[in-house]
Amino acid sequence: MFPRSILKERAKTMLRRNYWICLAACLMLQSGGFIPGFFFPAVINPFENYADKIFASDPELSVLVPVLLIFAGFILILSVGISIFVMSVLEVGVAKFFLHASGGQDDLGFLFAGFKKPFYFPIVKAMAWRMLMTFLWSLLFIIPGIVKSYAYSMVPYLLAENPGRTPREALAESERLTDGFKMELFVLDLSFIGWTLLGILACGVGVLFVTPYIQAAKAEAYQQLRGSPYTPPPYPTYSI
């Protein structure tokens, strides 16, 4: 049984208590993702749009092509590096924050717990493995990639609870938890479309204000799948 309405009501109850700090947590994750998500296209698109015109008017400028390609490659590597070594750890931190928030602990320090030793590199490895496996499944067409993305969707929460898991253990446990519930998780995401559309109508900025609701509901979904509420350790603690 996967009671979406109950999970969403629990999320609303939690947000009534600490919405603004939850919004701050989501903004930190979104602002970090803005760098690789925006900067790379901002550099590449002008080259794609105007390169033919420029080189046609002055063929000598074609010597700049290798330089531009090297620069584009650097930006791509930088974007991937930020995604793996920063954003993935923040994603686990956000999962940990919302798990603690559901138990009444809403300290933003939980966002950065994954950057502490000795758990940083195990988290990076597990999240990078998830990213790689999802990408490889996506090469088999879109549907297998989507299915596996839901199969691995609980990895950040599992790492938030136990960052000592190996990559294979984290992915295997996520697959076990989501077995038979991938469609329910997909429908849960679909249930937020109305809110997302309202956010887009508000000049797109409104989407940010909906994000805490989505994150809180997903944290509740994880607790539903694991079969028991998450019990935070004694407060305060930033150990992950």
Query: Residue 202 has what DSSP assignment?
Result: T
Give the pLDDT confidence score for residue 104 in this predicted structure.
87
pLDDT in tens, 135-174: 999 998 889 999 999 999 999 999 999 998 999 999 999 9
AA identity, residue 100 = H
Cβ burial of 75 (10 Å; 0-12, 13-18, 19+) is middle
Task: Tell the residue number behind the tokens 């809110």, with chain if given.
Answer: 195
Say if residues 97 and 25 touch (Cβ distance below 8 Å).
Answer: yes
In this prediction, residue 64 has a pLDDT band, given cuts at 50, 70 and 90, of low
Residue 163 preceded by cis peptide, ω within 30: no
CA gap 23, 66 in Å, rounded: 43
The tokens describing 93, both together, are: 């931190």
CA-based R_g, the chain, Å: 20
Measured in whole angstroms, the distance separating CA 80 from the mean position of its chain's CA atoms is 14
**DSSP three-state, residue 25:** helix
End-to-end CA distance of the chain: 30
Say if residues 234 and 12 touch (Cβ distance below 8 Å).
Answer: no
The tokens describing 209, both together, are: 């204000």
pLDDT in tens, 106-123: 889 999 999 988 899 999
Strands (E), 120-235: none
pLDDT in tens, 83-110: 899 999 999 999 999 999 998 888 899 9
CA gap 90, 82 in Å, rounded: 11
AA identity, residue 39 = F
Give the pLDDT confidence score for residue 204 in this predicted structure.
64
Give the pLDDT confidence score for residue 37 in this predicted structure.
47
pTM over 0.85: no
Length in residues, the chain: 240
